Amino acid sequence: MMKTMVESQFIPDPYTHYPETGSVSWQSPSNIALVKYWGKYGEQLPENTSVSFTLSHCRTITSLQFEQKETDEFDFIVLLDGKPKDEFKPKIQQFFERVESYLPFLRKYKFTIETSNSFPHSSGIASSASGMSALACCLMEMEQSMLSSQISEMDFNRKASFLARLGSGSASRSVEGPLVVWGEHDGIQGSSNLFGVSYPFDVHENFRNYQDTILLVDKGEKVVSSTAGHNLMHGHPYAANRFKEANDNISKIKEVLASGDMSRFIEIVESEALQLHAMMMTSLPYFILMKPNTLEIIQRIWKYRKDENSIICFTLDAGANVHVLYPESEKEQVQAFIASELAEYCKNGEYIHDRVGLGASAISD
Ligand code: DP6
């Protein structure tokens, strides 16, 4: 594929030396979209702008050990919690192929990629965002050690996000925090289809330390993967309207993030979640990722909001789990409500209390 001028900026200066061996380690969080990415074109480019809260506790920790080799093919092994995980290899192989021209050292090394997640196994939480972002950050640190001059933090984050996007679209929003925009939008200067950027405007204090409790409704394998779901937006009867609606919702949420208008915030966020699932239900083939308990939880959140005059709301990702969003000021009451009234609708009563966070960070030895 031809590279644009902007993509070419991610091709590095010639490396000045190649370390024989070494290791780097990064942790990177998951994120939850408020305005959703659903539909892509070209090489991992989004059909509409999305914005997400970066999370704090749900993280992937990845360490990359590398040693120089003579052969020409990509050579890596992947371990999850210390055990070989060959199921991850095709996705990483594809990632290496996509990023090779931006990281021209990849074929010169044999890699051991060791990864673990802070959230429970097969919790159904998408680990591709945190996983691909952690791996991209490791590769960026490795590249830095081969360059004669230090790259700025902004350039590091930008290229890490650019690379992460080529692994998984939503991973482009996991490098920084607490709010990240991915996808070009007229109202957001600096936004790009190629990488995520920190939300560039002041945010009302209502959103400071926002809480997200993830209710684990269903932990099984998804019936339709996100990648397959995105592809079903090609030729989808409502696609053009959906992309417009998302971009309009970015303009609206921009106002809300400035004003702190919580009833409009709730309306945009819940509508986005339901539109995402409406797209799935109206694809051909159509599919449903929500479970009966997903709906039961939504009804209970709505009732609690009304009865308690709360500003609790929900959002969904591409699965049956429910993200319960609420301000820090309601933390105690909402967490008590979750324990007493929502936990029973979770698989094995499991849920994870999380909150917004600041993005990826290096782990020193
Ligand atoms: C529903 O980023 O997992 O979570 O780019 O194919 O890896 P790929 O898809 P992925 O899609 C996630 C979509 C979503 C909404 C969102 O995070 O914006």
Q: What local confidence, expressed as pLDDT, does residue 4 receive?
A: 76
Shared-domain flag, residues 84 and 176: yes
Q: Tell me what the mean pLDDT of segment 126-145 comes to.
A: 94
Boundary residue ending a domain (143, 178, 202): 202
Shared-domain flag, residues 237 and 341: yes
Shared-domain flag, residues 214 and 194: no
Asked if residue 365 has pLDDT above 80, the reply is: no
Shared-domain flag, residues 257 and 214: yes
Boundary residue ending a domain (202, 231, 246): 202
How far away, in angstroms, is 168 Cα from ligand 1 center? 7
Asked if residue 40 has pLDDT above 90, the reply is: yes
Shared-domain flag, residues 198 and 226: no
* Ligand 1 atom having least distance to the Cα of 35: 18
Asked if residue 2 has pLDDT above 80, the reply is: no
Q: Between these two residues, 194 and 223, which has the higher pLDDT value?
A: 194
Shared-domain flag, residues 22 and 137: yes
Shared-domain flag, residues 315 and 169: no
Range of the domain at 101: 2-202
Average pLDDT, the chain: 95
Q: What local confidence, expressed as pLDDT, does residue 221 receive?
A: 67
Asked if residue 165 has pLDDT above 70, the reply is: yes
Task: Specify if 62 maps to a domain.
Answer: yes
Asked if residue 132 has pLDDT above 90, the reply is: yes
Q: 40: which strand partners?
A: 46
Q: What percent of the chain has pLDDT over 70?
A: 97
Contact between 123 and 191 under an 8 Å Cβ cutoff? The reply is no
Q: At 188, which CATH number?
A: 3.30.230.10
The per-residue b/e assignment along 194-222, b for 16 or more CB within 10 angstroms, e otherwise, is: bbbbbbeeeeeebbeebbbbbbbbbbeeb
Asked if residue 294 has pLDDT above 80, the reply is: yes
Boundary residue ending a domain (180, 202, 224): 202
Shared-domain flag, residues 178 and 62: yes
Q: At 300, which CATH number?
A: 3.30.70.890
Asked if residue 219 has pLDDT above 80, the reply is: no
Task: Specify if 22 maps to a domain.
Answer: yes
What is the rounded distance in angstroms from the CA atom of residue 149 to the CA atom of residue 142? 13
Shared-domain flag, residues 80 and 218: no
Shared-domain flag, residues 193 and 311: no
How far away, in angstroms, is 169 Cα from ligand 1 center? 6
What is the rounded distance in angstroms from the CA atom of residue 161 to the CA atom of residue 175? 6
How far away, in angstroms, is 229 Cα from ligand 1 center? 9
Q: Tell me what the mean pLDDT of segment 334-346 comes to.
A: 98
Task: Specify if 365 maps to a domain.
Answer: no
Q: CB-hemisphere CA count at 13 Å for 316?
A: 26
How far away, in angstroms, is 308 Cα from ligand 1 center? 33
Q: What local confidence, expressed as pLDDT, does residue 121 receive?
A: 60
Task: Specify if 362 maps to a domain.
Answer: no
Render pLDDT for 50-90 as a digit per residue (tens, 0 to 9): 999 999 999 999 999 999 999 999 999 999 999 999 999 99
Q: What local confidence, expressed as pLDDT, does residue 11 receive?
A: 96
> pLDDT confidence of 142, banded at 50, 70, 90?
very high
> pLDDT confidence of 225, banded at 50, 70, 90?
confident
Asked if residue 243 has pLDDT above 70, the reply is: yes
Q: What local confidence, expressed as pLDDT, does residue 50 receive?
A: 98
Shared-domain flag, residues 179 and 244: no
Q: Which residues line ligand 1 (CB under 6 A)?
A: 33, 36-38, 44, 50, 126, 128, 168-170, 226-227, 230, 276, 317-318
Q: 322: which strand partners?
A: 215, 316
Q: What local confidence, expressed as pLDDT, does residue 139 receive?
A: 98
Shared-domain flag, residues 146 and 250: no
Number of domains within the chain: 2
> pLDDT confidence of 223, banded at 50, 70, 90?
confident
Give, in order, the Cα–Cα distances in Å from 330 to each of 50, 99, 100, 326.
Answer: 26, 43, 47, 7
